[in-house]
Every structure is written in C-alpha cells, then in structure tokens.
Amino acid sequence: MYLAYHEETKDAAQRRIWTFYEAIKVYLMKIVLTNDDGHDEPGLTALYRGVLSMGEVIIVAPRDPQSSAGHRVTLKEPIRVEKISSFKYVVDGSPADCTRLALKHFAPSADWLIAGINPGANLGTDVYQSGTVAAAREAAILGYKAIAISQYIAPDQKINWEVTGQHVTKILSRVMKKTLNHGQFWNINIPHPVTASSVLEYQFCRLDKNSHEYTYQKNSDQYQYTGIIHNRPRTTGKDVDVCFGGQISITLLDI
C-alpha cells in the first residue's frame, strides 16, 4: 500500500516538474543574432554561446563580410537566403537586410535582436558607417529591442573570443533588464585587452561626436586613408574615452 502511494506521489511530482518546465519555456526570450562580418565569424559564435541559455536563438547573418556597409539595404534586386540549419539563415545581403528579413519573416515574434560581436570598436561617429550598429538600428526602426556589441582591439593585440564572450554575457544580462523606448537601442563596446579574471567596470555614457583626423596618402591618382583609430580625438566621459580607458561603454542611441 505504501509502495503504491509512494510511486503515485513520485509520478505526480514528475508531472508537476514537467508542467512547470513547459510553462517556463513560454517566458524564455526569442533572440535574433546577426553581424556584419559574415555568418561563420568567431564573434558571432561567441555571442551565440553567450545567449543560448537565455531562450530560443535564431541566427540571420550575411554570407560575406559587410564591414562598414552602414545602413545599406537591398530594394531592387531579390535577396537570396539559404537555411543551413533549423536556427540559422545565411543572407546574400547587408546587415540591415538581415534584420528586416529576420523580423519580418523568420522571427517576427522576437524579443531582441543583437548584432555582433564585432572585431573592432564601434564608437563615436563610427556608428554611422558600422554595419553592426545598422543592424541594431534597423531593428529599433521596426519597433524591436536591439543591441549592437563590439570588441575594441588594442594596438598589436588579438582577441580571445572565449574571454570576450564571457564578458559579453555578463554585461548583456544587465543591459537587457533596462528600459528601452520605441526607436532606442544600445551600443556596447568592450575594452581591450581583457582576461577571464578581469573585473570590468561599465559606464553608461554619451556618444562622442568628435570626428576622426582624416588623413590620406596620395599615390598617383589614388588616395589611401592613413588615420589611426587609437589616436582619435576624444571627450572625457564619452564612449570613446570610456572604452579606451578600460571600461565597458554602454550608449543609448536613437534612430
């Protein structure tokens, strides 16, 4: 008698656990990931691993590198899309194209779109040429919550993507709890170099509007840009200064 009651109780407990598990899945987020460097880049892989525990993740990313593509979109030609897995689409188009297709066709019920992790900073006026930022901006235009995230690369240094992914996961868990109004999105930049044991402070800061010191070297009828990003002008307390100074910069941008 006791054994039968015990087994029934055990079964009831298992059913309750399963019911709770099914219910909690409803509240997990649906997250779209994209980038501007191509669908097989390590920054995107690091981002995917970092957000996988947050819910359902869908990748819609360019087939080829689109760095500095800005907010270019394809309107007159068809856009080829290849579905290479149950959760990944490869797009022959720009980062903004990827966002539009993702949120209009592949994941219209998405809670977030996150673009990155870009190898190289997207700070100050760079946000207007960045394909990474454009992808997030397009999501904000369409009424979705969005984040662009980039890893600054210090002179003569290389990115450890595993370490970057760990820091990105930590800061995303904080930023995604913040309120975003319609037409707003976050732009995050990770400082460099960092290690797994680095305790990174972060700062919410404004966009630095200083222009680069654009210089070109002339060779016959050709001109080669020779500016150095690390030497760019900066204003104390704004995003360039914050990130170059060793903190995570978090900037609220408007469309």
List residues bridging with 56 in a β-sheet: 30
Separation of alpha carbons 84 and 44, rounded Å: 15
Coil, strand or helix at 210: coil
Distance CA 41, CA 184 (A): 27
Q: What average pLDDT does this structure show over 185-210?
A: 96
pLDDT per position as a tens digit, 64-92 = 988 888 899 999 999 999 999 999 999 99
Determine the pLDDT at residue 24.
Answer: 47
Architecture of domain 10-207+244-254 in this structure: 3-Layer(aba) Sandwich (3.40)
How far apart CA 234 and CA 251 sit, in angstroms, is 15
pLDDT range class, residue 219, cuts 50, 70, 90: very high
Give the per-residue pLDDT at 5. 46
Domain boundaries, the chain: 10-207+244-254
pLDDT of residue 182: 94
Beta strand extents in the chain (DSSP E only): 29-34, 55-62, 81-83, 88-91, 112-119, 145-151, 184-190, 202-204, 216-219, 222-225, 248-254
Q: What is the pTM of this model?
A: 0.87
Confidence at 9, pLDDT banded by 50, 70, 90: low
137 contacts 103 by C-beta, under 8 angstroms: no
